[in-house]
Every structure is written in C-alpha cells, then in structure tokens.
Amino acid sequence: MDVYNAQVEGLFIGQLATIGPDKTATGIYKALSQQRHEVTEIGLSGDIQVDKRVHGGSEKAIYHYPAEHYAVFKQALPHLSDSFEPGSIGENISTHGLLDTEVHIGDTFRLGSAVVQVSQPRRPCWKINQKYGNAHIAPFIMSEAISGWYYRVLETGQLKVGDSIEFLDRLDNSVSVAQIWQIFMDRLERKASREPIPKIPGLSDEWRFE
C-alpha cells in the first residue's frame, strides 16, 4: 500500500456571511489564516459552520479539498477561470498530493498535532452554485468525483499552514472517496436513491443514507 503524505499549503477559516437573494447565512466564504488554530472534535477554532445539517459536527469537522481539482474546473469552465482558486469552494485545508482517487474512507492522518480520520465525501449544496454564479458546479463535482472529503477528529491538537499531513493507517476493505461517488451516482441512475449505500468501513452513517 502506498503511503500518502502532504503539507498544509492553505488553512482557511470562515466568518459569518450571507449568500443568495434571500441573504441566507453561510460560512462558505473563507479567508487564508496564518495563525495556529485548535483542532477540536467539531472543527477548527474560529471557523463558522452555519447549517449543521450539511456542514460541521463531529462527522464533518474539517473539510479538505485538493488544490489539483481547480485545474479541472478551469478547463471545463474557462469563463470562470479567475474564480477557481484554493479556498474558494469553502475548504478548510488545501494541499497538493492527496487526491480523491487515492485517499480512502477511514484513512487516518496526523494533521499537525491532531489525529483525524476521513469520514465521508463532501456533498455539494446550492451555495456552491450560488457562490460561483453557475448552476452546473454542484452536478459537475458529483459526476467528476472531485468533492474532497471531511475528517472526524480522533485526537485534538493544533494546526497551522506548513504543518505536515502524515498518513497513519488504512482500514481493511476500504474504498476511495471517488469510489463512493461511483456508488452514489449508480444508485441515482437506477432510481434507487432510497437504498442505503452498502456498509463501507469508516463511512459516516449519515452519508450512507443520503
């Protein structure tokens, strides 16, 4: 098994803002932080997570998005090229070297001085479309399986830009983050969306019934 390590190139913290015509509260607008942040069981200190139904909580404490995916967006939607940059999709952590096709659900990493575990993909909501001003962003993320992933926090600690992300362990019979999307999209095509996703090691129970 290959071992994947990386470095935190961007650490993004959200403040309370509004989005859309109804001025819906959101934390999707995140700014680069050079400070050291506490990694708690429900997220990074100072980071706002407004709608706990879809963001935040113990199973969605920290959102990691590979910086490589922005090149995919730029190629597909060149007229929005200037909008696609690390931090813009609402991630907390930006890196190169860790991809959805390689990172598995249940993988454990040392993140700074904390220990975290990959819990589920990020299912994009309408706010991503609204932020970029394009209704095709969310479906494109799902079809291309470039969603990034959430971490659950196993051991609290601290994190700052430049800290290492060290691979620690992988569960037996695990699948990649990208493979979860293949399973999910297959269910949609078969019009079997009410069927739970089969039991997968490390996958958040709440995502299995999406």
pLDDT of residue 2: 54
Q: Which of 103, 87, 101 is nearest to 161 (CA)?
A: 87
Where helices occur in the chain by DSSP H, the ranges are: 69-76, 126-132, 137-144, 177-189, 205-208
Distance CA 141, CA 107 (A): 22
What percentage of residues in the chain have a pLDDT greater than 70? Answer: 92
pLDDT of residue 51: 66
What pairing do the DSSP bridges indicate for beta strands 114-121 and 30-32?
unpaired
Give the residues of the chain that fall short of pLDDT 50: 1
pLDDT of residue 3: 58
| Distance (Å) of CA 43 to CA 48, 52, 57, 95, 128 | 9, 12, 7, 18, 20
Are the C-beta atoms of residues 6 and 95 closer than 8 Å to each other? Answer: yes
pLDDT of residue 49: 81
Domains of the chain, CATH where assigned: 6-208 (2.40.33.20)
